[in-house]
């Protein structure tokens, strides 16, 4: 036999005439308490009983067919059967029909207290599900008025409706009402509050919501990342970095963008070498794409940390992908700075061949490398070339006389 579902159990309680009263929350003379439970007429009762037995046996279509055959006379019997049909159609997934019958039952406003309250609640939920947000809010409020009950879940659902309509102020007010009556932390309410504040561009208040949520729901990885990102948005870089570091240590940074942001913050706040090592690790693992942009960024971090060999290596890898003359120029400068003058020459020549907006920059570096290698003829040639570029003309010209004097001393013809 088909197992009795929660819906069936609710219907069984209804049929048996049970009445449930929330004495703790109900107000004196609350509508739900003053609405007496009734029994359906004899003719309708037989159909209801038969339909319910079919439902329990797993024959939902037969249950619906039986109720459709009924010919209820009074308003109460009509509302009662409409309620059952609405429940059955909802379980069947035919929401248009479910809404139609539940609306009939709700608007009749004659069912017993518990039944009317349950029907209001289900009807509101289906309206929300079917994106009828304005109507859903209206009937949720009718449920609250009828039951004299303030329920955090209902406030959350109304807030969802407001957010879907982008009524952020109403959503925020509704969320705060829900938070004030919740008996335990409701993550959904806090998330909706954050969403509303964020969309209202009240970023600092949104930060406060996340700061409340993180200790309440410490296992939610997304909260740590969201908090770190929002600190970044509000330019609180120290807290952003600290939060990213906690998230990284907890294994919560699972997306490449978050790893990159952590590394950028480390470099910005004085730890470029650590940022470079973390980025290197995750590029090698495949989490962060091994592309020109990320390789160049990592090279920059190593360069900032004065780890010149690693910087040159990764600028070379980046340049090999993009054939960007500027990257070869950076690599060549670093090799020269690391006193690898001979190695810098072919790299700087690649920069020239790849094309530069100011070729004099590479020519000037080539002049310096050849000069340090005491190859004065080549140094002089590149000094003259660099002197023709506006960007390097003054510096290169200042070297020409010096190179001539060195060549004279060493008896080298230029």
Residues 112, 192 within the same domain: no
CB 123 within 8 A of CB 159: no
Say which DSSP state 162 is in: H
Q: Is residue 188 part of a domain?
A: yes
Residues 32, 127 within the same domain: yes
Give residue 34's pLDDT.
87
Token code pair at residue 385: 């070339």
Percent of the chain past pLDDT 90, that is, above it, reads: 83
Using alpha carbons, list the distances in angstroms from residue 72 to 24, 40, 77, 78, 82: 36, 9, 5, 5, 10
Q: Is residue 88 part of a domain?
A: yes
Residues 136, 195 within the same domain: no
Q: Tell me, what CATH number does 20's domain have?
A: 1.25.40.10
- Per-residue pLDDT at 413 exceeds 90: no
| Last residue of one domain, picked from the residues 119, 147, 175 | 147
Residues 11, 131 within the same domain: yes
Using alpha carbons, list the distances in angstroms from residue 158 to 127, 132, 190, 272: 11, 11, 14, 48
- Per-residue pLDDT at 191 exceeds 50: yes
Residues 133, 202 within the same domain: no
Q: Is residue 250 part of a domain?
A: no
Which pTM does this prediction carry? Answer: 0.78
Q: Is residue 277 part of a domain?
A: no
Say which DSSP state 26 is in: P
- Per-residue pLDDT at 246 exceeds 50: yes
Nearest to 310 by CA among 350, 289, 283: 283
Give residue 184's pLDDT.
94
270 torsion bin: left (phi>0), alpha (psi -120 to 50), beta (else): left
Residues 142, 156 within the same domain: no
Residues 142, 2 within the same domain: yes
| Last residue of one domain, picked from the residues 89, 117, 147 | 147
- Per-residue pLDDT at 331 exceeds 90: yes
Q: Is residue 61 part of a domain?
A: yes
Q: Rounded distance, CA 348 to CA 364, Å?
A: 10
Residues 38, 56 within the same domain: yes
| Last residue of one domain, picked from the residues 113, 147, 181 | 147
Residues 38, 88 within the same domain: yes
Q: pLDDT band at 4, cuts 50/70/90? A: very low
Residues 6 or more apart whose CB falls under 8 angstroms from that of 394 comprise none
Q: Is residue 1 part of a domain?
A: yes
For tokens 């010209």, what's the residue? Answer: 397
Q: Is residue 315 part of a domain?
A: no
Q: Is residue 26 part of a domain?
A: yes
Residues 14, 128 within the same domain: yes
Instruction: State the total domains in the chain.
Output: 3
What is the extent of the structural domain holding 208?
150-216
Q: pLDDT band at 218, cuts 50/70/90? A: confident
Q: Tell me, what CATH number does 353's domain have?
A: 1.25.40
Residues 64, 179 within the same domain: no
Cβ density class 230-253: b for 16+ within 10 Å, e for less = bbbeeebeebbbebbbebbeeebb
Residues 79, 162 within the same domain: no
Q: Rounded distance, CA 91 to CA 28, Å?
A: 35
Give residue 13's pLDDT.
34
């Amino acid at each position: 036999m088909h197992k009795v579902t929660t819906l069936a159990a609710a219907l069984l309680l209804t049929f048996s005439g049970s009445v449930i009263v929330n004495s703790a929350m109900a107000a004196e003379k609350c509508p739900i308490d003053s609405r007496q439970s009734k029994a359906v007429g004899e003719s309708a009762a037989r159909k209801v009983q038969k339909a319910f037995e079919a439902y329990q046996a797993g024959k939902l279509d037969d249950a619906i067919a039986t109720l459709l055959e009924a010919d209820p006379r009074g308003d109460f019997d009509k509302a009662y059967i409409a309620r059952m049909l609405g429940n059955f159609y909802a379980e069947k997934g035919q929401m248009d029909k479910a809404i139609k019958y539940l609306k009939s039952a709700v608007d009749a406003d004659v069912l017993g207290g518990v039944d009317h309250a349950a029907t209001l609640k289900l009807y509101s939920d289906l309206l929300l599900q079917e994106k009828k947000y304005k109507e859903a809010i209206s009937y949720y409020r009718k449920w609250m008025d009828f039951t004299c009950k303030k329920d955090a879940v209902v406030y959350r659902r109304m807030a969802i409706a407001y957010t879907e309509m982008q009524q952020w102020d109403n959503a925020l007010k509704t969320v705060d009402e829900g938070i004030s009556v919740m008996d335990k932390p409701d993550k959904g309410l806090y998330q909706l509050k954050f969403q509303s504040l964020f969309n209202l561009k009240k970023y600092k208040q949104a930060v406060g919501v996340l700061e409340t949520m993180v200790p309440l729901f410490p296992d939610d990885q997304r909260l740590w990342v969201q908090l770190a990102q929002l600190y970044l948005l509000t330019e609180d870089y120290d807290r952003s970095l600290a939060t990213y570091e906690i998230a990284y240590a907890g294994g919560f940074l699972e997306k490449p963008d978050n790893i990159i942001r952590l590394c950028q913050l480390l470099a910005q706040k004085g730890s470029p070498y650590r940022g470079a090592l973390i980025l290197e690790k995750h590029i090698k693992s495949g989490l962060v794409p091994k592309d020109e942009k990320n390789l160049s960024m990592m090279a920059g971090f190593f360069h900032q940390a004065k780890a010149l060999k690693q910087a040159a290596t990764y600028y070379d890898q980046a340049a090999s992908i993009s054939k960007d003359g500027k990257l070869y120029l950076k690599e060549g400068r670093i090799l020269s700075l690391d006193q690898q003058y001979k190695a810098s020459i072919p790299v700087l020549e690649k920069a020239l061949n790849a094309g530069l907006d100011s070729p004099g920059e590479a020519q000037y570096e080539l002049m310096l490398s050849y000069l340090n290698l005491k190859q004065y003829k080549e140094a002089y040639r590149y000094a003259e070339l660099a002197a023709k570029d506006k960007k390097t003309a003054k510096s290169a010209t200042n070297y020409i006389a010096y190179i001539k004097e060195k060549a004279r001393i060493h008896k080298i013809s230029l």
